A = this chain, B = another copy of it.
Amino acid sequence: MDSNQYLDAEQARFVQELLAFVRIPSVSAKPENIPDVVRAADWVAARLTAAGVEGAEVLPTDGHPVVCGHWLHAGADKPTVLIYGHFDVQPAEPFDLWDSPPFEPEIRDGRVWGRGASDDKGGMLVPILAVESLLKTTGRLPVNVKFFFEGQEEIGSPDLPPFVAANVDRLTADMIFSADGLQYAPDQPQIVEALKGLVKAEIVVRGPRSDQHSGLHGGGIANPAMALAHLLASMKSADGLVTVEGFYDDVIDLGLDDRAAIARIPYDEVSYLAETGAVSVFGELGYSTRERLWARPTLDVNGLTSGWQGIGSKTVLPAEARAKITCRLVAAQDPAAVLAALAAHVQAHCPAGVTAELLPGQGGAGPFLVPSGHNATGVAAQVLEEVYGKRPYRTRLGGSIPVMTTLLDVLGVHAVMFGFSHDDENLHAPNEFFRLEAFRLGQTAYVRLLQRLGG
């Protein structure tokens, strides 16, 4: 039996294991789910050991734990490969928009439906299964492999930088592959050459000491919710330009070659609108939608909260109003500089009659841009072309994987995104799903990747 036959023979079991993994509600953002994140870590360590990986263990950080393991018997002449993924998931709210409960996964239409099925439980299981198939059928791996799985990617990996710095020996590798990554379409691979950086913050606008009667005090004092609206509106123009002073200062603008490369990849705006349900595209003038999505920095409001939000009405003038915001950064923006620009803007544009404060969020990341000619990226592209029978598109991604920046900073290695999710799989949204076909194809791809790297 070769590894491919093994994968076919064991696939039904693997799918059941994925369902079990998704059933653990390892939501890293919610304090009540801390024990579930630990349970997920334990599950991953046990699964690594079952696959034949050595030294699999759960390691503490100041927050959610990390799981590491390794197989290092390929020989000193073979490269060492670090494989990354994450076992935490996004919150599943609002629950009522799910067709089936987010943590009671179901298989329908050849897909696993549940929170984390695609991002990244399905994804991170793929290389474990590939390694298992090689170890169980050949007794060895073609290269030295280290696994590095984390439980805080969805909150920006705040505790990873000190962990990585303190565990350089454990993580050192010649190449890094991230099992948290996307393919362009089920029949079209891609190589992701850039990730955006991330900055998080919360704006708090405060007015009266406590909520006030809107009749007795309306017109007398400022309304923090209205003031927040003015403050947010001052940060982005009506046509989508970020108007925070200095925001674009360090952005490396797209060259003609970059724009041509992006324009070569098919883009169907009708499909994009159908996928998202938006009435139209929207954003910074002078750039195509693809360019904005892939290579321009953004400022988005992730949440608003103020005053009465229940059924019916409560005629209050609220004491405060809050907005959670994130900026996605492109090379060569610096997260600290952007955060400082946001804070300065909030102070400079604080509306009359209220106070305003910018609270920096945990877990930022610098932008990530793979150098052209990067060797591991070239090998990954060859493998994808073999497996899919098509040349991969060279794309960029609007998302952020903060630990990629950390690994680059500490280990000096650019990671290659080698994952098999798709961006239509409702990542971070209700009704997340993962294609079982991609789950299987990814296993083959990882086997070939390891073989090619060792051969």
**A65 interfacial by beta-carbon distance below 8 Å:** no
**A189 interfacial by beta-carbon distance below 8 Å:** no
| B304 adjacent to A216 (CB under 8 Å) | no
| B318 adjacent to A303 (CB under 8 Å) | yes
Residues 200-213 of chain A: 1 if any B CB is under 8 Å from the residue's CB, otherwise 0? 10000001111111
| B284 adjacent to A219 (CB under 8 Å) | yes
| B307 adjacent to A301 (CB under 8 Å) | yes
**A156 interfacial by beta-carbon distance below 8 Å:** yes
Query: Which of A54-62, A69-77, A422-430 contacts the other chain?
Result: A422-430
| B308 adjacent to A91 (CB under 8 Å) | yes
**A370 interfacial by beta-carbon distance below 8 Å:** no
> For the complex, what is the distance from the CA of A305 to the CA of B318, rounded to whole Å?
13
Query: Which of A256-264, A397-405, A433-441, A446-454 contacts the other chain?
Result: A397-405
> For the complex, what is the distance from the CA of A37 to the CA of B153, rounded to whole Å?
48
Q: Which of B282, B324, B363, B400 contacts A222 (CB 8 A)?
A: B282
Interface residue total, chain A, C-beta cutoff 8 A: 105
Copy total for this chain: 2
Residues 305-349 of chain A: 1 if any B CB is under 8 Å from the residue's CB, otherwise 0? 111111111111111011110101000000000000000000000
Chain B residue nearest in CB terms to A428: B213
Q: Tell me the residues in window 293-309 of chain A with beta carbons closer than 8 Å to chain B beta carbons.
A: 293, 296-309
| Given the contacts A208-B277, A313-B156, A215 and B302 also touching, CB distance less than 8 Å | no
| B276 adjacent to A215 (CB under 8 Å) | no
> For the complex, what is the distance from the CA of A133 to the CA of B180, rounded to whole Å?
78
> For the complex, what is the distance from the CA of A324 to the CA of B363, rounded to whole Å?
33
| B399 adjacent to A216 (CB under 8 Å) | yes
Closest chain-B Cβ to A280's Cβ sits at a distance in Å of: 5
Q: Which of B298, B304, B317, B400 contacts A306 (CB 8 A)?
A: B304
A-B contact pairs, 13 of them (CB 8 A): A29-B311, A91-B308, A211-B428, A212-B429, A218-B398, A220-B282, A220-B398, A222-B240, A225-B303, A239-B352, A279-B355, A302-B308, A309-B322
Given contacts A155-B312, A277-B319, 11 further A-B contacts (CB under 8 A): A156-B313, A213-B427, A214-B328, A216-B427, A219-B240, A220-B281, A220-B398, A226-B300, A302-B308, A305-B305, A316-B428
